[in-house]
Amino acid sequence: MGFVKYEQKEQYAIITIDREKALNALNSQVLTDLDEVLNGVDVDTVRALIITGAGAKSFVAGADISEMSSLTKEQGEAFGKKGNDLFRRIETFPVPVIAAVNGFALGGGCELSMACDIRLAAENAKFGQPEVGLGITPGFGGTQRLVRLIGVGKAKEMLYTCAQIDAQEALRIGLVNAVYTSEELMPAAEKMAQKIARNAPIAVRATKKAANDGLQTDMDTAIAIEAKLFGSCFETEDQRNGMTAFLEKRRPDPYQNK
């Protein structure tokens, strides 16, 4: 794709937003390219995804202001829907998605990282939602995911003040899982993807769905969702492989996603 690169490495894959001269800002074409790349992911062979940005300065610096500046109300709503639909697709994608945040993650970049399951940051990463300083609200889920991830008070502070935070502060408040040097970031993300890929993929996908779906409802309903997905694992070859190996005190055979 023009602005998005895709590389599969054994049982995981790397998606790189490649618009480095514009700090990987999200315009309509980038969103379309990313959506089309997701269409091509074979979840039978790819068990984890990593999303990162090209270059050393920016993950995604935000949505493209030059494109947004002249939008009408209707066009603004359509652009917001395009981004929201894509980010929701990433959030609910069957396999786990890791954001390797290698620099600026502002506006749409922060929102993209929050749509991923896990966020790993380089030491130079900066996070923020600067939209109200530009006369708009966050439009790709920022007002919703940030409060869920870091709590209402801190999220509203970031949203209302446009404050940027560095990687260590993001780690302290729970916005990211870990912080690495720039050189260590991608190896760490790939190591985590490999760890995920070694586990039973049907069980991993079911676990992601249980966690995501359960967060949207009350505890009683959430437990019922979990129970149903738990039960579904018992008709898989992977379950028999894993439990047999445990009982025989050996490593399981490579999981076959069956």
What amino acid positions are annotated as catalytic residues? 111, 131
Cβ count within 10 A of residue 195: 11
CA angle, corner 53, sides to 145 and 9, nearest 5? Answer: 100
Q: In what order do the strands lie in the sheet with 104-106?
A: 58-60, 104-106, 126-128, 165-166
User: Do 122 and 72 contact (CB within 8 A), yes or no?
Assistant: no
CB-based burial label for 198 (10 Å; 0-12, 13-18, 19+): middle
